Homo-oligomer: A and B are copies of this chain.
Amino acid sequence: MKQITKYIVKNSLKRIFLYRACLVRLKMMGVEKVFSYTLANETGVTSDQVRKDFSEFNIKGNKRGGYDINCLLEKMETIFHRNKDHNIVLIGMGNLGLALSKYSKFVQRNMNIVATFDIDPFKQKIRSDLPVYSMSRLKEIIDRFRVKVAILAVPEISAQQVADELIRYGIKGIVNFAPVLLKVPSDVIINNVNLCDELESVIYYVHNLIKADGLKNIELLYRDMKY
């Protein structure tokens, strides 16, 4: 029970994802081991940071020998519970939901959208690899597939109500695309993805960059954009 109390900060988690993507690429290229500075170069962080991050997750390499890519990837799989499959539900088969339902990378990473849901009977006829159910079957499916995580792609106005329903049926984590802050119990994880904000912040930085033209240490202006 000890190490559970230790929480992992979003930024280092994000960097770990970066490292992993890079490792996968290197592996495909036939590379078998890496040094912290290889990963650092590829991902735009410092090698210290790479090692510190690894140490945070208790990942060990070989002094002088660097890290074995296979070991590294295996360790990461365990850390991220990727040996198991993860069943997901997707609510809202509008423009965005439809795109997400067709996204093949989720499956490649063992994250399976087992079913999608929409309130609109018309949407329920969408020809797709995935079934589109009416909301009345939500509980049944969540129970059957032991779903713990949901993707929420319904309009702003319905987001809270749908979230409440999901949580009532046992959902513990939501990736929320609606631009609202959901009110949820403290044992439910919400990850808000707000694409307007993402676009707007780029515009903001670009403008400042243009105004600051000629500034030496431009990277200071947007150093947190890195990942």
Contact = CB atoms under 8 A, between A and B. Distances in A.
B86 A203 contact: yes
Name which of A14, A173, A175 has the most chain B CB atoms within 10 A of its CB: A173
B198 A175 contact: yes
Number of copies of this kind of chain in the complex: 2
Contacts of A105: 179, 195-196
Interface string A136-166: 0000000000001101000000000000000
A206 B5 contact: no
A172 B206 contact: yes
Given A179-B105, A202-B191, A5 B212 contact: yes
Contacts of A210: 148, 172
Interface of A: 4-5, 7-11, 13-14, 17-18, 21-22, 42-44, 79-81, 86, 88, 95-96, 98-100, 102-103, 105-106, 109, 111, 148-149, 151, 172-175, 179-181, 186-187, 189-212, 215, 218-225, 227
23 contacts: A10-B224, A17-B197, A17-B200, A43-B181, A81-B203, A88-B199, A95-B102, A99-B99, A103-B195, A105-B195, A106-B196, A149-B199, A149-B203, A173-B202, A173-B206, A174-B202, A175-B198, A175-B199, A186-B218, A189-B206, A189-B222, A191-B199, A193-B193
